[in-house]
Structure 1
């Protein structure tokens, strides 16, 4: 095969640039799910060490990969078409509980986004209380519940004792089984114990009293104790896997409603 003259400068040709760009995106489409799976298992501590200028490009690639993975047809789940609401506790103005540099509101937004990704990948319609880092206040989240087949919000517990631990879901009695399934999905991934009745906390027996989100028909999943360093570390390193497990519980729940 004979190469063109000045082939070493071919990268300057528009046709070559366009071809390379097309090949890049075609490869990203083919391997978007694999790319996300690799990214998901990288510990958060290592991600935090990525230089800021490189992190911006990595973040862009992750975002593109999530969109492409969502656009890929999921034939095994194409019949799932229920409407669900997924929200994050607290808000951009209310950080919730804090442990060092970690804020509850930030962590649960990441979890919300991950669960939403897997649900949309499966073909479900999802309403959320924000995209990216946006986290609307409780009043906005509660309004999203109306008309949803299921609504789930994520929080993290906190306690004075750093030994307090475990996963729980606060819900009305009608949602006991779903609450237990959601809690188990999280606990199995994080290696945590189940609190309450196998992961379910009856709102009437909760120290928090009546909660607006639960009163409106939603479920509140407490993803462990941010005040417990071991559970916080487990969250940071495995939250994408836990989000996938939670999404699968919701997908099965939606299938059962059809």
Structure 2
């Protein structure tokens, strides 16, 4: 085989550049599912070593891979008109509770993304308030509730007492059983205690008063206390396992809907 003249400069040719880009996306489509699976089993401690300047790009890459993996595999297990809403508390402009460098709004995005992934893998149609590192405001999250079979927003609790721990899911009385099951799913992974009524908090008895997301029919899960160093570290390291257990509850709920 004879190479073209000046083959070392071939990368400058538009045809070569387009071909390389096409090959990259073709490979991403082919192996997106495998990439996501590998990404899921990488410990969070190792992911934390990703340089800050690269985190946004990695988040976008993972988000694209998740979308492509979902497009490749869509088992029709459920009615296409049914869907689950999964949102992350607070937003990119509202950090929520903060513990040192840890921000609630960043923390909960990880669980939201993982939960959405597992639900989609099971064939459940999912709507979220963002992809990757995106975390839209509450007003956007509330709009997603209408028409969904269940809407779950992920939060982290906080307290002045740094020893405070526990899991709770806030909802209207009609969703008491589901709220308790979601809290127990988290407890199965973290071993933390269930707050309120076996993991359920009736919004009418919540110290927070009426919450717009709950008033519109959604459930708010407080995974644990970000103010507690040990609990926040545990949740961060087991975020994908927590999401997987929650997904089992929602998948079963969807099957009965």
- TM-score normalised by length of structure 2: 0.83
1:71 and 1:121 in contact (8 A); partners too: no
Q: How does 1:1-258 map to 2 (within 5 A)?
A: 4=1, 22=23, 31-51=31-51, 58-59=58-59, 61-75=61-75, 78-81=77-80, 82-257=82-257
- Give 1:160 deviation, angstroms: 1.1
- Give 1:140 deviation, angstroms: 2.7
Secondary structure class of the residue paired with 1:145: coil
Q: What number of residue pairs does the alignment pair up?
A: 251
1:41 and 1:237 in contact (8 A); partners too: no
In 2, the alpha carbon distance for the partners of 1:58 and 1:38 equals 14
Could you list the per-position Cα deviations for residues 115-146 of structure 1 after superposition, in whole angstroms to 9, with x for gaps in the alignment?
A: 22222333333222233333222233223222
- Give 1:72 deviation, angstroms: 2.8
Could you list the per-position Cα deviations for residues 157-189 of structure 1 after superposition, in whole angstroms to 9, with x for gaps in the alignment?
A: 001111111111001111011101111112212
Regions of 4+ moved over 6 Å: 12-15, 24-27
1:170/1:256 CA distance change after superposition, 3 Å: same
1:139/1:68 CA distance change after superposition, 3 Å: closer
2:63 and 2:132 in contact (8 A); partners too: no
1:21/1:199 CA distance change after superposition, 3 Å: same
Structure 1 unaligned residues grouped into runs of 5+: none
Structure 2 unaligned residues grouped into runs of 5+: none
2:165 and 2:228 in contact (8 A); partners too: yes
1:166 and 1:225 in contact (8 A); partners too: yes
2:78 and 2:124 in contact (8 A); partners too: no
Could you list the per-position Cα deviations for residues 210-230 of structure 1 after superposition, in whole angstroms to 9, with x for gaps in the alignment?
A: 222111111000010001111
- TM-score normalised by length of structure 1: 0.82
1:225 and 1:232 in contact (8 A); partners too: yes
- Give 1:105 deviation, angstroms: 1.0
2:170 and 2:220 in contact (8 A); partners too: yes
In 2, the alpha carbon distance for the partners of 1:234 and 1:206 equals 26
In 1, the alpha carbon distance for the partners of 2:205 and 2:55 equals 44
- Give 1:66 deviation, angstroms: 1.3
1:90/1:55 CA distance change after superposition, 3 Å: closer
1:80 and 1:123 in contact (8 A); partners too: no
1:55/1:128 CA distance change after superposition, 3 Å: closer
